[in-house]
Chains A and B, each alone.
Chain A
Amino acid sequence: EPEVTQTPSHQVTQMGQEVILRCVPISNHLYFYWYRQILGQKVEFLVSFYNNEISEKSEIFDDQFSVERPDGSNFTLKIRSTKLEDSAMYFCASSEPTGGDGYTFGSGTRLTVV
């Protein structure tokens, strides 16, 4: 079964440092997403990406966040200057054009900001 791959699985960083979370979506999917889940809370939408540009972003996705698809396979989320409250699980997801079968999520990157 095709899967979405995320690296690293766990990242510890100091407050104020930049982090890049990496994702390899399913190859024939065209829509890519980042979600996050703070421990004990619900999964929250960050951003969606289609045709090499952001199609929608949430209020969480401020100027500290950026996404990029640098080549044909990778999809990255960058946090420029991390804060303690950025500590969360970050899930990448991708979907087919029709989207009728929902998203496929990657196994996540646990980001811990200290």
Chain B
Amino acid sequence: RKEVEQDPGPFNVPEGATVAFNCTYSNSASQSFFWYRQDCRKEPKLLMSVYSSGNEDGRFTAQLNRASQYISLLIRDSKLSDSATYLCVVNAGRGSTLGRLYFGRGTQLTVWP
């Protein structure tokens, strides 16, 4: 069973474009949701947490639909530096601690000039 599924891409977009990534998760008990970015052969870095009401951080907007078990990430006004793999991450849903995280395989984004 795949806990977290993402469209692997690749997405190739010009600078300034808006791009959206989607993710679905299988565990309805999951409580914490994140988007991480990973540059080639580097560690995952937290981009943003995803809250039920949706949240925005500059050019990045994340949405969560618990009923559909669906998470999205929207990047507006893409920059060359946004080129990376975007990882959808969900926790195992145990108790109040973060617990085990499940990672999607990632969606690769390339922004070209």
Residues of A near any B CB (own CB < 8 A):
31, 35, 41-45, 48, 50, 56, 58, 89, 91, 95, 97-108, 110
- B100 — which chain A residues lie within 8 A by C-beta? 45, 48, 56, 58
Asked whether B45 lies within 8 Å of A105 as measured between CB atoms, the reply is yes
Within 8 A of A (CB), among B13-57: 32, 34, 36, 41-46, 49
Q: How far is the CB of B85 from chain A (nearest CB, A)?
A: 10
Residues of B near any A CB (own CB < 8 A):
32, 34, 36, 41-46, 49, 87, 89, 91, 96-106
Bound-state Cα–Cα, A45 to B91, Å: 11
Q: Given A99-B98, A102-B98, A107-B43, A44 and B49 touching (CB < 8 A)?
A: no
Asked whether A102 lies within 8 Å of B46 as measured between CB atoms, the reply is yes
Q: How far is the CB of A13 from chain B (nearest CB, A)?
A: 19
CB contact between A101 and one of B42, B44, B49 (< 8 Å): that residue: B49
- B99 — which chain A residues lie within 8 A by C-beta? 48, 56, 99
Asked whether B43 lies within 8 Å of A44 as measured between CB atoms, the reply is no
Asked whether A97 lies within 8 Å of B43 as measured between CB atoms, the reply is no
Asked whether B106 lies within 8 Å of A103 as measured between CB atoms, the reply is no
Bound-state Cα–Cα, A100 to B41, Å: 26
Asked whether B101 lies within 8 Å of A45 as measured between CB atoms, the reply is yes
Q: Given A91-B44, A105-B44, A105-B45, A43 and B98 touching (CB < 8 A)?
A: no
Asked whether A103 lies within 8 Å of B45 as measured between CB atoms, the reply is no
- A45 — which chain B residues lie within 8 A by C-beta? 100-102
